[in-house]
Structure formats: structure tokens, C-alpha cells
Structure 1
Amino acid sequence: MGDKIFFVLYLISLINSVAWGQAQQLAFTIPALTLYAYQPRGFRAEMPDDNGIKLFTFHGKVNGLLSTAVDTDLSGDINSPTNGKWVYENPYLALAVGDKIDYWIYVQHNSFGYTKHNVVFEVRELTCKCNSSTITSTKIYTKMCCGSIIFTDEFEEFEVDTNKWIPQQYIPSYTDDDHYEFVSYQTDSIHLFTRESRLYLKPTVARSYYEVTGRLNLTEGCTRSNRYSCDYTQVGSFILPPVTSAKIVSKLSFKYGKIEIKAKLPIGDWIYPQIELIPVNKLPQYPKIIIAYSRGNLNLSLNSGDDLGNTLLFGGPVSTEVEPERSRNLKSRRLTVPFGREMRTYGLLWSPSRIDISVDNTVYGTILANEYTELNSEYQIALGVGVGGNYDFPDETKSSSYLKPWVLI
């Protein structure tokens, strides 16, 4: 009788032990996995540490179904955490936006094993990662880390720093410049100067007939190769530009990054800012990218009544220069207060997968990579002020009650 009682008690104890083990096993959930695809190459899968985790295993296949444990592009067993995370990393894998990784993971927690199958990671954005410099016999190439500032100017000097900027000097040519704005860009201190940590770009209008006739020779220091953009003679009604303005272009060129420019946009009839990125390769397939654009007219309207004035801001890649199609394809933001009334921060975040346009740290437009395919070029920052021109003001627009005083022929 005593043996039977002992057997029953032992059996009950064994059942309770198994039940407790199952409860312990069910209480654990595999921590969420975070995956990164890096630019220009590299892949990382990381999982937060848990005191009971003894092993982390990752198996994955790029752009295909993972059918067996040996049919993998990515595979690794991780036996210990690093800085509080279990990390599988492949620094050589080059991925692109749209690539997919079919993967499964195994986690040993205490004495039990847990598996998660049939998971797909789609690359939606490439993350920047710091790389060391590479040195050749003639040049040093450095890939900057994310968040590194590679160019800044507070305009604290008494004049524009020509180590950072190229002051522009040229006459927009009808054959070379789509806008053909009614200005000449010059570098004298009347139109281009700094004061109290601010850059001033100041256009002035010709006051007499004699200022728009004769010859304008900007050959010395001209920043264009076209002869007519450096030296122009008035012929008949083809007068000299009636406005003198200023523009600077950064010596630095780059591809991808975050740009922030604090500026007060110009106010005035038929005037506009040129705060933009311009391609180093001046080819049709590389459009400029507008950081901030707003027409200076306080009251500007189309025949339809649509307001195009200084309360309307535009940004983004320019798909066409012709209005009104250009404005329709750009991102826009409307305020009740004119943008030229106060200083604002205009931003552009450009990555391989998207472009975000912002004002005062508020994103008002996003352009995904599939909406633009021809930005494979380095770009420079341009800051200038334009007046008039071919396309910035559609024909038959009115400033208050005054019709635009020229037409595109």
C-alpha cells in the first residue's frame, strides 16, 4: 500500500514538473528583430538581449524563397550579445531599395528553442553607415558618417568666403538658360555683401535708358563659357538686362544629405529666390532641385483667380520649366502670412529612396525614388535672386490689378 501511495505522489510530482516547464516555455516571446540595409553595402539584424538567451541564429535569402537551411545567402550563429544586442551582420552584402530578404531565426532561451519562420524584410530605405577613408596615389576619398556636418557658413566674415562659394558673374543667355531672367549677375559689393552674420543678395533696377543700351562686358571673372553670357551688346530692342543681381554657388558638391537654409525670401513684383541644388553635370536628365521658391508679388493671380503670390511656397525636383506644369509637379505649402515677412528655415532631406521638403522643420512634401530616376549626379547649392524671365510668371497673371508687362514669344 505504501508503494502504491509513493507511486501516485511521484506521478503527480512529475506531471506538475512538466506543466511548470511548459508554462515557462510559453511565457517567452522572441524579441522584435530590427533589420538594416546600408549604403553603399552592408546588412544587419539585431535583437535586444534577454538574460535567458543562449544562442541566436539567422538564415536568409535575397530575392528568393528560403526553402532549406543550406539554400541561403545569409547565415550565422551568434553565441553572445554585443552591447546589449544579439547581432548578425554581413558587411559585404549590397542591397537596393525594393530588394526582399526571406528569413527565419532560431533563439535558444534557457533550455528551450524557439523558431520564427517565413518572415520577409523589404528594403524601403538605405541607411548611411560610417566607412573609413580609402587612399589612392593621388586622392583621398572619404565617406562621411550620418549626421556629420560637411558644409556650413554663418556669413560672419566681412565678405563672402570664396573658399566656400563661387560668386557668379554672367548674363543669362537665351540659348543656355531656360529662364532667361532679366538680370545680369555681378559680384560687386552693392549687390553681394554680408552684414551682422547675414548674406545679402540685392538686385537693383536700371534708372535710365543709357544703362540698358550699349555694351555690357563681364569677361573678366565671367563664370560661364558662352561668349554672349560674358559680353553682350544691345541690338535694337534687345536691350541689356534692366536689373543687376547676385548669385553664389557652393564649391562643395555632394550626393545625398540634409540641407537647412535660414532665409528671408524676397518681396517685390516679378522677383523670386533661387534657393536650389544645381547639378554638376549640366545635362537635361539631371534636373535642378528647388529647396525654397516663392514669387515675390504679394498679390499675384491667374485669370482663374488662383493665388500664386508670396504666401505660396514650392520645393522639389523640377520636371519641366514651363508653367503652370512646373508648379503642379512641385510640392507646395500655403500660409496666410507671406513667406518674405520673416526668417524661416527651409530644409531638404535627400536620400537614395526619397526627398523630403520642409519649412521650419515641418515636412510638406515627399517625393519617392520611383517618382524621379535621373538624380544620379552630384549637386551644388545655389543662392540667388532672379527677376522676370521666361517661365516663372505665366502669361496673363496679374499683380494686384496690373497685368504682367511682358509675354513669352
Structure 2
Amino acid sequence: MRLLVLCFITFFKYSAGQFEVPDALVEVFRPRGLRVSIPDQEGIKLFAFHAKVNEEMNGREGGTFSRDITKAKNGRWTFYDPYAKLKVGDIIYYWTYVDYFDGKNKLGYANDDLQFVVKELLEKDTSSTKAPTVTTQTTEEVTESSGCKSSPTKLGNDATCSQKVIFHEDFNSLDNNLWSPENKFAGSPDYEFVVYTTRRENLEVNDGHLKIRPVLSEDLFGKGYVDRRVDLGTNCTGVLGSLDCVQEANAFLILPPVASAQISTKNKFSFKFGKIEIRAKLPKGDWIYPELYLNPLNEPYGPDYASGQIRIAFLPGNEQLNRNLRGGCILGSSQAGRNYGMKTIKKNTGTWGDDFHVFTVVWKPDQITVSVDDTVYGNIYAPPKGFVSESHNLELGNVERWHSGTPFAPFDKEMYLTVGVGVGGHVFPDRSDGTKPWQNSDGKGQKKFYKATSQWRPSWTDASLLDVDYIKVSAL
């Protein structure tokens, strides 16, 4: 909320003899903890701290760490995050802000473009200001004393503060510390008709946007590509030597007729429970769809959909289907398992792919809520005996492992972000009206899709791409 206010305030830093924002004392603790403070002075009414680690701030943005401190303690205005885990060499980019009352007016002052290099980790009892003692206080006491309310959100085994932004991607670049692009042939459980590549024609980041565009594979790799043998080699991100990495055309089996892209935060950023927001423009064009997913980190309940998937936004690009936005969770590969936890909102005029929208999922320990542009269109709850009690009705197999989890299993384990564009495959249910050129149970499906290129390719235009503005994940 403060950022909205700051946008309308003119900041001034005064020369000697007038108020200046005091220099901040930055302290980083072992094994975790970050404290930033300024000395109390008469007239200071509020202190705010905004920062990112190893990433420069984009002006006066909120940052990963963002908090207003409304009361001084022990002679200092202090921001403290007991869960921040930093290491020597990390750079904290930050700005500070103070509300100051000069006896007549309360004005706002900022200190911009600051940075602090972590050169050592302090023991909490050797710092120059008094720090909360985590080992002798309960979580509730620590969070209350530091202004941090505990959250059910977890980053691995680490707790975090309620409403804290734990991931914010503006796509000023494709950060290799956060994202891994896929280079492999698609496979189970959706069997999309795609080879994922890292080529610029498919994957591009510019002007603060991520853009993923599907392209005919023969346009990229030459005519006859679908009838070749292709080995992606050691750059393959799938299982080496498997169909992830090596495929050979044989009779009715052909290589994927479409090249696309997919990136994920697997093994780089994962979490359990939180609020996920993605501002994006979804692709238009027959049989194209966005892949905006939360996927299970370690597949603790088994492979494919046995460990579940949360869909932040799903929208077929076909003109006749582009008005029905879907979001929710997938419980299995059967049509019943794919539909049970999915919710739909229909657009009466235009389509959901016409413009940018903010797609949101709130993932709680007992509930998943989906919304678009702040309009909630679905809540998913587990039955009283858990999702496992529906396994027979949903035609789900091998879900006995769900008994070892909570009633909300499989959605009670860490997940990571996946962003991409798929084409065809099993995400589209079979149709009896002849408009879908393949059947999901037909081994020749990919070839039939390829042979129908003249039917669906004309619908692909400049709008046939996924355009992502930002992704933000916040603690509950």
C-alpha cells in the first residue's frame, strides 16, 4: 500500500542543517536473520525498508523485503526478519524511507540506491543492537517482537513471514539462478506434440516480458524433420538415452511437428502454500495452450499426476474455446481426474486471450482458490476423507501413498513454477464433432495432427504466443 502512496510524493534530501535520512546499520546473522536499523531522532514518525538480494532494485519498488516500522525500540527504528538466510558475498540492494515531522508538517524523505555487501555473519549476541533470541522464544513471540506474523508458507524447512514476497520476477532478464529452460521432447502425462527448445524463435526475454511462441518444427529444423532420427545429446534436460532425448520416426510414429519452450524453477525455487500471481497475455490459435503450473518438486506420491498439479490459468487458444478460462488442480490423467478440481469462468464478450490479465491462485493447507483480475471463480476443497476417498470415482490408480499425507494430499508438498506453451496432446478431451483431428487413445494421433496442419495452422498469428509481464509469490 505504501508504494501507491509514494508514487504521489515528491522526495527531497536536504543539505546540512536540514533533515537527512540517517544511514542504516545493516546486520546479517548466523545461521539466519537480517536486521536493518536507524537511530531514533526527534520528529521521525515512521521508518520503511525495501530490499532485494543479489538483484538491483527497479526504482522504488517494494522488493523481497518490504516493511513499514511504526515504532522505535531501544532507541532505534528497526526492521528485523528472523528467517532471512544470507551468505558471505551476497549483495543487499535497498532503499530506506522516513516520515519526518518538523513541528509544522510531516514530510517523506528517501535514501535511494543503497547497497550492502555481506562480508561476515554475526552471532546474535555480539551485534550492536539487541536481537530477538529465537532459541528462547516461541515462533509467535519472535514474530510478534519483530513485527513478523508467522505463515503456513514454507521454503523447504524454513518458515517465513505472513504476506512476505518470497519470489518476484519482472523478466528484465532470464535469471539462470532462478530458471532452467527445458531442452527435450514432451511426454507423459500430457503427450503434447512438442519438442521444447531454447532457441530464440521459441523463447525470448525483452522489454521486461517473457515471450514463448510455438513454431512449426520444420520451419526451424528443415523440411522432413518429423521423419528423422534426432538425438538432443548431453544438452537434453530429460533422462539421457530415453524418449525425452532421443526419438526416431518409424511408420506412423513421427517426431513432434511443433517446437516450443518451457522454463521452470525446479531445484532453484520451490515452496509449500502461498499466493501466486501471474500477469500475462495468453496465446491464441488452434490447439495452443499456456502452461502456467505448479508441479511437485520430488513427486513424493508418484510420477505424473499421482503427485498432483496446480494450474494457475489454462485456456485453449481455439476461437470457440477461448472464452472459457480454467484454473485449479489436476488429480489424475483420466478425464475425471483432470476435471474434478478445475473451475471455469466464461467471458461473455471477447476472449480471455485478447488482453493481459492477472491470474491468481491462493494455495492453502486445506483449500485452493482461483481468481482472475481479483474476481474469484472457484474454490477447491478436499472431501471429508481426503481426495484419496475419490480415487475410484476419478479412475485414479496408485494413490495409496496419499494416505500418508494430509487430507489435502497430494497438494501438501513443495511445488515449483513451470511456465511454457504446449500444443495438442491429451489436455484436449476427444470430440465427436470431427473438429479435433486426433484421438487421445490413437497411437497415430501426432501424425494425424501433423497431416491436418492446413486446418489449424492458419489460425496461428502474432497473437499465438504467451506473453508474461511478471510473476509474484507471497506467503499466506
TM bracket, shorter-chain basis: 0.5 to 0.7
Secondary structure of the 2:353 match is: helix
Q: Which residue in 1 is equivalent to 2:277? A: 260
Contact 1:169 1:187 in 2 (8 A): yes
2:169 pairs with 1:153: yes
Q: Which residue in 2 is equivalent to 1:406? A: 438
2:234 pairs with 1:213: no
Contact 2:193 2:258 in 1 (8 A): yes
Shift of 1:404: 1.1
TM-score by length of 1: 0.60
Letter in 1 for 2:346: R
Could you say if the C-alpha distance between residues 214 and 350 of structure 1 is closer, same or farther in structure 2, counting changes exceeding 3 Å?
same
| Deviation string, structure 1 residues 50-108 (Cα, Å, up to 9, x no partner) | xxxxxxxxxxxxxxxxxxxxxxxxxxxxxxxxxxxxxxxx9589xxxxxxxxxxxxxxx
Which of 312, 319, 325 does residue 298 from structure 1 map onto? 319
* Distance in structure 2 (CA, Å) of the matches to 1:209 and 1:192: 22
| Deviation string, structure 1 residues 132-178 (Cα, Å, up to 9, x no partner) | x9xxxxxx963110111111111112xx21111010111023xxx12
Contact 1:233 1:240 in 2 (8 A): yes
Q: Which residue in 2 is equivalent to 1:273? A: 290
2:248 pairs with 1:248: no
Contact 1:357 1:364 in 2 (8 A): yes
Return structure 1 stretches of 4+ with deviation > 6 angstroms: none
2:186 pairs with 1:172: yes
Contact 2:331 2:340 in 1 (8 A): no
Could you say if the C-alpha distance between residues 232 and 146 of structure 1 is closer, same or farther in structure 2, counting changes exceeding 3 Å?
same
| Deviation string, structure 1 residues 351-392 (Cα, Å, up to 9, x no partner) | 112111111111111112445432221100101100011x22
Q: Which has the higher contact order (CA 8 A, sep 6+)?
A: 2
Q: Which residue in 2 is equivalent to 1:346? A: 359
Secondary structure of the 2:339 match is: helix
Shift of 1:264: 0.7
| Deviation string, structure 1 residues 241-279 (Cα, Å, up to 9, x no partner) | 100000000120110011000011110001111101000
Equivalent residue pairs, number: 263
Q: Which residue in 2 is equivalent to 1:322? A: 334
Letter in 1 for 2:436: K
Contact 1:352 1:369 in 2 (8 A): no
TM-score by length of 2: 0.52
Q: Which residue in 1 is equivalent to 2:431? A: 396
Shift of 1:179: 1.0
* Distance in structure 2 (CA, Å) of the matches to 1:318 and 1:225: 24
Could you say if the C-alpha distance between residues 335 and 246 of structure 1 is closer, same or farther in structure 2, counting changes exceeding 3 Å?
same
Letter in 2 for 1:361: D
Which of 372, 377, 386 does residue 413 from structure 2 map onto? 377
RMSD: 2.7
* Distance in structure 1 (CA, Å) of the matches to 2:372 and 2:277: 9
Could you say if the C-alpha distance between residues 144 and 267 of structure 1 is closer, same or farther in structure 2, counting changes exceeding 3 Å?
same
Could you say if the C-alpha distance between residues 239 and 253 of structure 1 is closer, same or farther in structure 2, counting changes exceeding 3 Å?
same
Contact 1:247 1:382 in 2 (8 A): yes
- Give the gaps of 5 or more residues in structure 1: 1-89, 94-126, 134-139, 300-308
Shift of 1:349: 0.7
Shift of 1:209: 4.6
Secondary structure of the 1:220 match is: helix
Could you say if the C-alpha distance between residues 317 and 328 of structure 1 is closer, same or farther in structure 2, counting changes exceeding 3 Å?
closer
Contact 1:203 1:385 in 2 (8 A): yes
* Distance in structure 1 (CA, Å) of the matches to 2:380 and 2:340: 13
Bigger shift: residues 228-237 or 344-353? 228-237
* Distance in structure 2 (CA, Å) of the matches to 1:178 and 1:171: 13
Could you say if the C-alpha distance between residues 328 and 373 of structure 1 is closer, same or farther in structure 2, counting changes exceeding 3 Å?
closer
Letter in 2 for 1:216: V
